[in-house]
Amino acid sequence: MNEPLSQLLFSPSPIVSSLSSSQSAVLSTHSISHPIDLIISDMLIHMPIRVAHEKNIMAQFFVPSSLMILMNFIHSSMGDVNSILEQNFAYQIIQALSLANGLICNSFHQLEIEAFNELHRQLSFNSHLPIRFVIPLISDELDEKQNVSSLIKFNIFFFICLL
Amino acid sequence: MAEIQSLTKVGHIVLITPPLFGHMIPLLNLAKRLSAHFHVTYVVSASKLNVLEQRGFSITNEKDNIVSTPFGIDFIGLFDGNDDDYEVSSL
């Protein structure tokens, strides 16, 4: 994934469409049309954050679920039974977090206080990293298709009010 | 209306996700909210574009090679050789 992604985001020349040339390697369906102001990259994809840092482009690290899961990934590097692959992965997460301009987490701050504090301890070198919680990220279309009842929506709203 | 939107959308945000639905859908929901204020480009493995369209998350526009939703998000597919289906089809 890294090569096509790197070409798409950071290549100085636009990627040629599959319809216009057979000589250039076609690595994506089309090229990016506007200059990039901000990159938001998933917690499993770290290369864009590293390169964005080198090119002075703002980059945010996105955690699609609980912050606790991210902390479990990081903690997994500390055990003796884990593989080198896991250790490398945790190291890459820490490195990406050290270079990111912020972290966006799909959860509630109030549910993640323990993980939030632990992450700040781990990021002692970047303890001012802004961490933003953006729940509820609920798709209206998905709700309609999966017949999520209005009662569930009301409960979520009520829960937010309580917090 | 489209002209007004293009004038007000000054920043460009690129969102990148792995081809896993547990990661794709939350980032897509964030993309929809951001697209109200910014140009938004959503990057995922090209192998997942068809599935996103089948599930109603995106549509193919008149230019045929650009896939976008009514929210104005540009979808770009990466030809990364990833054709695996990571979804659990049966238990």
Closest by Cβ to B26, choosing from A26, A39, A64: A64
Residue in chain A closest to B57 (alpha carbons) equals A141
Provide the number of structural domains found in chain B: 1
* pLDDT tens, chain A, 163 aa long: 677 888 888 875 554 444 444 444 678 888 887 889 999 999 999 999 999 999 999 999 999 989 998 888 777 665 555 566 666 777 888 889 989 999 999 999 899 999 998 888 878 777 788 999 998 776 665 555 555 555 555 556 555 555 5
How far apart, in Å, are the Cα atoms of A54 and each of A49, A64, B62?
A: 9, 25, 37
Say whether domain A37-162 belongs to CATH 3.40.640.10.
Answer: no
pTM of the model: 0.77
| Residue B65 covered by a domain | yes
CB contact under 8 A, A139 and B32: yes
Q: Which domain holds residue B75?
A: 43-80
Give the start-to-end residue ranges of the domains of chain A. 1-34, 37-162
| Residue B1 covered by a domain | no
Give pLDDT, residue A153: 59
CA distance B18 to A48: 12
Within 28-87 of B, beta carbons closer than 8 Å to A belong to: 28-30, 32-33, 38-39, 41, 43, 45-46, 49, 55-57, 65-67, 74-80, 82
Instruction: State percent of chain B over pLDDT 90.
Output: 24
CB contact under 8 A, A1 and B18: yes
| Residue B51 covered by a domain | yes
Evaluate whether A110 touches A163 at the Cβ level (below 8 Å). Answer: yes
- Within 13 A of A8's CA, how many CA atoms are on the CB side? 31
| Residue B47 covered by a domain | yes
Find where tokens 């950071």 sit.
A10
State the nearest Cα–Cα gap between B65 and chain A, in angstroms: 7
